[in-house]
C-alpha cells in the first residue's frame, strides 16, 4: 500500500521479449509509472530538488518545455502538490498527450515545430522566455539541467542492476534529452566497465545530420542540441533509426508481441536489432550480441498516447459498432 501516488513512481517490471535476436532481451516497462512514462522519475526528482533548495515554494508555478511526457509528469505532480503548471509544447504533440495535459489541469502553450531548439519560436525558447518574465516561476529545464541525468543514475539504474542480478551486458535507450542514457550509463559503467551502453537516435536529428536536422515524427528520441546533460563518455555507440523503421516496429510489437508502446520504444527495439545484426571488426569477426548476453531496453511510454496518429493500424473509416457486433456474435 502507498500513502501517495508519488510513492508509486518507479519499481517497474522487467519483462522478457523476443525480438528475433541472439541473447536474452528484457524490456523495462516504464509506461506502468502512474503518469504513463519514464518522465515521472525525472520530473519528481527535479521538483523535489527544487523544493529542497527553496527554489520552488508552496503554491508556486512550474513552467517547462516538453514533447509531452515530461509535461504530463509535471502536471500530475502539480495537481498532487498544488502547483500551477504551464507546459509549452510543439505542434508535433499527439492529441492524446495534449488532452492528458489539460485533464491534469495544466495550461498548455502550443508552438510551431522548428528545426533548432534555440530558435526564438521553438517551444523551449518560448518556455524559457515565459519562465524569466513570470515572477517566481520555476523551470526544471529538462533539456539542460544535469539533475535530469542524476534522476536516472540514482533511480532507474539501480533497479535495472538489481533486477538483472548484475548480469546485464547491454543497455539500450532512446536519446532525446539524453538524461536516461547518460544517467543509467554512468551507473552501469561504475558497476562493470564492460557493459555496453547504446543510445538510439533519429536518423534526422541535429547530431545524426551533423547540424542539418530534418523533420521527423518520432517523439522522445532525437539528439537535437548540445547539452551538458549528455555524458558521451559512457555511451559506446549511437544507432540511428528512421521514422518508418520505428513505426513498422510498433505494429510488430503490438500485433505480434503484445506490447503497445510509443514511437521511442519502437525506435529502441529497431536499434537493438540493428546492433545485433552487426559484427565486431576483429581478426575473427563476431556478432555484437551473443546468446550469452543479457540486454535491457527501455519502453518509455504507452502507445495509447499516440493512437490518433494511426501508427499501429490504418484508420478504418468504415468501422461500425453494430456491424462488428453482429460479425462476432456467433462463432
Residues tagged active-site: 39
Cell numbers for 318: 468504415
Q: Give yes or no for a contact between 208 and 239, defined as CB atoms under 8 angstroms apart.
A: no
| Residue 151 parent element (H or E) | helix 147-153
Cell numbers for 80: 498532487
Give the CA distances from residue 312 to residues 50, 134, 241, 245, in Å, rounded to whole numbers and listed in that order: 39, 41, 18, 13
82: left (phi over 0), alpha (psi -120 to 50) or beta: left
Q: Give yes or no for a contact between 296 and 160, defined as CB atoms under 8 angstroms apart.
A: yes
| Largest pairwise CA distance in the chain | 65
CA separation for the pair 162, 159 (Å, rounded): 5
Residue whose cell numbers read 541525468: 149
Q: Give 44-48 contacts, CB < 8 A, sequence gap 24+.
A: 44/6, 44/9, 44/73, 44/77, 44/151, 45/147, 45/148, 45/150, 45/151, 45/154, 45/155, 46/140, 46/142, 46/145, 46/147, 46/148, 46/151, 47/74, 47/77, 47/81, 47/140
CA separation for the pair 216, 242 (Å, rounded): 8
Q: How many residues does the chain have?
A: 331
Residue whose cell numbers read 559512457: 234
Amino acid at each position: 500500500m502507498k500513502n501517495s501516488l508519488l510513492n508509486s513512481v518507479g519499481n517497474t517490471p522487467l519483462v522478457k521479449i523476443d525480438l528475433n535476436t541472439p541473447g536474452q532481451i528484457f524490456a523495462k516497462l516504464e509506461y506502468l509509472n502512474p503518469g504513463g512514462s519514464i518522465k515521472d522519475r525525472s520530473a519528481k526528482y527535479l521538483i523535489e530538488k527544487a523544493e529542497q533548495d527553496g527554489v520552488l515554494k508552496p503554491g508556486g508555478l512550474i513552467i517547462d518545455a516538453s514533447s509531452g511526457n515530461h509535461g504530463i509528469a509535471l502536471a500530475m505532480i502539480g495537481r498532487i502538490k498544488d502547483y500551477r503548471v504551464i507546459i509549452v509544447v510543439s505542434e508535433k504533440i499527439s492529441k492524446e498527450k495534449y488532452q492528458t495535459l489539460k485533464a491534469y489541469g495544466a495550461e498548455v502553450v502550443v508552438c510551431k515545430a522548428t528545426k533548432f531548439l534555440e530558435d526564438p519560436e521553438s517551444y523551449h525558447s518560448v518556455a524559457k522566455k515565459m519562465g524569466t518574465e513570470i515572477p517566481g516561476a520555476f523551470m526544471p529545464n529538462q533539456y539542460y539541467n544535469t539533475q535530469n541525468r542524476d534522476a536516472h543514475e540514482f533511480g532507474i539504474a539501480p533497479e535495472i542492476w538489481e533486477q538483472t542480478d548484475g548480469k546485464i551486458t547491454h543497455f539500450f535507450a532512446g536519446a532525446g534529452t539524453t538524461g536516461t542514457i547518460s544517467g543509467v550509463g554512468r551507473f552501469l559503467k561504475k558497476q562493470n566497465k564492460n557493459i555496453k551502453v547504446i543510445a538510439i537516435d533519429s536518423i534526422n536529428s541535429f547530431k545524426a545530420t551533423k547540424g542539418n536536422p530534418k523533420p521527423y515524427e518520432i517523439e522522445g528520441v532525437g539528439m537535437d542540441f548540445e547539452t551538458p546533460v549528455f555524458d558521451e563518455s559512457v555511451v559506446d555507440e549511437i544507432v540511428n533509426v528512421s521514422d518508418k523503421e520505428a513505426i513498422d516496429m510498433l505494429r510488430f510489437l503490438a500485433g505480434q508481441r503484445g506490447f503497445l508502446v510509443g514511437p521511442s520504444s519502437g525506435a529502441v527495439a529497431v536499434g537493438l536489432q540493428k546492433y545485433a545484426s552487426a559484427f565486431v571488426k576483429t581478426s575473427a569477426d563476431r556478432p555484437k550480441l551473443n546468446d550469452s548476453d543479457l540486454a535491457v531496453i527501455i519502453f518509455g511510454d504507452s502507445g495509447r498516447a499516440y493512437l490518433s496518429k494511426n501508427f499501429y493500424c490504418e484508420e478504418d473509416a468504415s468501422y461500425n459498432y453494430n456491424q462488428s457486433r453482429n460479425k462476432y456474435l456467433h462463432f
